[in-house]
Structure 1
Amino acid sequence: MSDAAQPTAAEVRAAAEAIKTALDRHLAAVELRSGEDDPAVYEAFNQLAAAAEAYDELLYDRYDEVTPFEIPGADDSLPPYAGPEEPNAVSVLIRRDYAVAEPQRLLAQAQRVEAVEHEDGGGAGEDAAATVHGALGILFGEFEPDEIASRHKEFGLEEGDSTLWVTAADEPAEPGEWLEAPFEQADPQRVVCRFDVSAVFDEDDEDDEADEIDEDGLDTLDEDDDLEPLDAER
């Protein structure tokens, strides 16, 4: 960053004061919380996270220093909540990713569904389950998304990342209003809560566990260490 673009010392001081104010508001919200999912606490948390991030950036830009703390669970990609305090409606946005791990299993399941539908005198066109994209259309048309999520291995699918956003709305949408572009109008500032599932989190946990094992001082084998074979008669 050039010297001309650097924040002033006063701006850094103002950001520090903003953190103090946000801390007081967060503590007050926690002390007065009405339940486990009190939106006032959630909003105060997000405001504190935003204030801390702003201060950290200004501190680094001005003095090349960083803060020693991190607020866990803050949504890096979401701004502070700015929706209605008492939403009259909510929208639930869900994305689940899958890999087609076993195409033959997927095709076999779709063919079973197709066979039953033909016996009942309806269903998809002939040989619709002969291709992977056709089989996907059959299965996702037959089963609810939650059922596919719980039985994904039966369908030859492997889970990837998933996310669920609950967004606040002033009024329910009119019928058919958003069907052409269902996710286009999602406002990050109206996200009440979100839940993410990713293998990245599992990898982080594994790294932490590995670090704990190393810190416990467990001995590791050197290349020259001898291993005695197990006695098969034991």
Structure 2
Amino acid sequence: MTDQHGELDAALERVIAAARAHLAAVRAAEGRIDDDNVWQAYVALNNASFAYDEQLLDAYGEVTPWDVESIDPDEADERFGGAEGVEATDPHPRVVSVRQRRDYRVPSVSALLRAAEAARREGIPEEDEPAPVEGVGEAVLELLQSGDGSLSALDVPELEPLDGVVMVSEVGTAVDLESFDDDDPVGPFQPAADDRLVGRLDEHPFLDLDEEHDHDHAH
């Protein structure tokens, strides 16, 4: 039993060390997407947690709250996109451009402003007083900035989504934001003459079945 205790302690220490290594990798990545070091540290933490859970189960019939499965490190490299140091040999000659638009209705201006001010308050120290959110447009921008920058940050009750569209194109050059004024609403989205539209996806808001039923009866 003493050996088993020692093995469990060692397994737990490996989990702690792997968790610290994962945190260090996350901090070093500074928000970079698909960072290889973060992925490798994630796999190591996952497998250390899995091993500890298995040993705890064998020793005491108990488990941790971690619902993980072992990840093969070699398969993990393939899932991430290939082994480190191997350069791709088939780059696409053009840039893929994704343009998206989605419109919203604002049922309550005051409710939207409150939601945006709450989001702004969460992003500053408690002792600081946030500036008030002035206007609907600023409120929407604040929700985007306080979230992850994607339109999913606008999936809030204070905004009612309307139709939207996503267009995927192949373009000759990537957008150069420095060549457009900050208040230019057209330039960054204006297609060039040699752009090739690959496809367009139309988005329609989900209509509640009860609302759809009432709408049909209204006609």
Rg larger for: 1
Which has the higher relative contact order, 1 or 2, with Cα contacts under 8 A spaced 6 or more apart?
Answer: 1
TM bin (shorter chain): 0.3 to 0.5
TM-score w.r.t. length of structure 2: 0.41
